[in-house]
Amino acid sequence: MKTIMTLLSLMLSLFCLPSLAAEPPIYGQSRTISSHILGDDKQLDIYLPAISALPDQKFPVLYLLHSQWDMLPAIATLDLIANTVPDFIVVGIESQGQELDVKAGDAEFAQFLEKELFPFIEREYPAASYRILSGHSHAGKFVMQQWLSNTLPVSQYFAFSPSLDDGDILHKVESFPRQALTNQKPLILTMANEGEHMHAPYTRINAILSSTSKFRYASHHFPTETHRSTKHPSMKFALQAAFPEWAPTAEVKMSGAPGLKRHYDALSARHGLKAVPSVEMLQQITARHSVGSDEAERAKLQPLFDYAIHDLHVQPSRFVEIVDYLTDNGYAEASQRYLEALCETDAIHPRCGTVTLARKKY
């Protein structure tokens, strides 16, 4: 019984390896972009995920309006639901007032996003072309206007408690041909406890959009949240609604390389975004397969290393870290087994010179 409990304790600890400890929160870097379209400089707040161990990995981008108010809630929410949604680059645009008021023939701010900001970010950072435009309150109304126009090259829209009280967005949605809604980009809409002047148009808009088939739409009413406090739950709801089942189940994780690859290939096809497991997840999974006496589990080790090193181009040194972790925690046999399987896949690493490879691949 003592041996079983010790093994269970190690299995749990493998989900929080010391090398995977959370980094101190970094809320972003400040950049300035000079806009010829706006005739002004725009202040940006840019958050980058931790440097990836996967070469050439590109990240989807969350473009956040009202950065001066909404950047910190967004970053905190992403940290809260890490590993259940993709890692994001977050680009906050300090914006307010008339620049977000789109009038007839006056769409300079949208042109700034498309012609100047998107290319700048994708030139300067490891940014994928998967873009989400998110806004709250007045900026949420701007998001709704851009969603209706359907001209911005973005993949998804988030509108949190958008200003609907003047009836403009409701009128446009009611006038929109129902058949044409199926061609609109996905939209996620939320509403706090805002009073009837906001709730009534939200309810009507939600009824129309919810009844439209083949249109990717999700909404949620937060009756206990204020206009200000809805930022956290709205972002959490939106990201998880946009990327359901992003994280593989425990069964998929432990099923071996083919099951894990099928999961991420399916996500890539569904979202039009290159989805891959994190190096930390691969470290955890391979470590768990090395522990215990089940031959079937051990047999999954070498194919996982092959998938990680040859398909995803993960550096073998990232797995040597786990060899040392197992050794340091008193699991010399599992450590040796782990290194043997790793060296069957990549015998170049200096540590492989100390290993006599087993005849049978694990």
CATH assignment of the domain containing 177:
3.40.50.1820
pTM of the entire predicted model: 0.85
7 found inside a domain? no
Query: Could you tell me if 219 and 270 lie in one domain?
Result: no
Query: Could you tell me if 201 and 335 lie in one domain?
Result: no
Structural domain span for residue 257: 250-354
89 found inside a domain? yes
* Predicted pLDDT of residue 59: 93
Query: Could you tell me if 185 and 256 lie in one domain?
Result: no
Model confidence at 97: pLDDT above 70: no
Q: Final residue of a domain: which of 223, 242, 261?
A: 242
Average pLDDT for 56-83: 91
Provide the CATH number for the domain around residue 336: 1.25.40
Sign of the four-CA dihedral 85, 11, 289, 339: positive
8 found inside a domain? no
Query: Could you tell me if 90 and 210 lie in one domain?
Result: yes
Query: Could you tell me if 232 and 331 lie in one domain?
Result: no
Amino acid at 273: L
Query: Could you tell me if 90 and 144 lie in one domain?
Result: yes
Query: Could you tell me if 345 and 269 lie in one domain?
Result: yes
Query: Could you tell me if 176 and 200 lie in one domain?
Result: yes
Average pLDDT for 167-193: 92
54 found inside a domain? yes
Q: Render pLDDT for 309-351 as a digit per residue (tens, 0 to 9).
A: 999 988 888 898 899 899 998 888 899 889 988 988 877 777 7
Q: Render pLDDT for 21-35 as a digit per residue (tens, 0 to 9).
A: 445 555 678 999 999
- Which position has the token pair 């100047």? 116
* Predicted pLDDT of residue 51: 64
Work out how many domains the chain is built from and give that number: 2
What whole-number distance in Å separates Cα of residue 302 and Cα of residue 279? 16
* Predicted pLDDT of residue 18: 46
Q: Look over the chain and give the mean of its residue pLDDT values, rounded to a whole number.
A: 86
Q: Which two tokens stand for residue 106?
A: 């006056």
Q: Final residue of a domain: which of 242, 258, 274?
A: 242
Model confidence at 217: pLDDT above 70: yes
Q: Final residue of a domain: which of 192, 226, 242?
A: 242
Instruction: Report the share of the chain in percent with pLDDT over 90.
Output: 59
15 found inside a domain? no
Query: Could you tell me if 170 and 231 lie in one domain?
Result: yes
* Predicted pLDDT of residue 12: 45
* Predicted pLDDT of residue 346: 77
3-state secondary structure labels for all residues of 95-131 = CCHHHHCCECCECHHHHHHHHHHHHHHHHHCCEEEEE
- Residue 200 three-state SS: helix
273 found inside a domain? yes
Q: Render pLDDT for 103-134 as a digit per residue (tens, 0 to 9).
A: 654 588 999 999 999 999 999 999 999 999 99
E runs forming strands in the chain: 29-35, 40-47, 59-65, 89-93, 127-136, 156-160, 187-191, 217-221
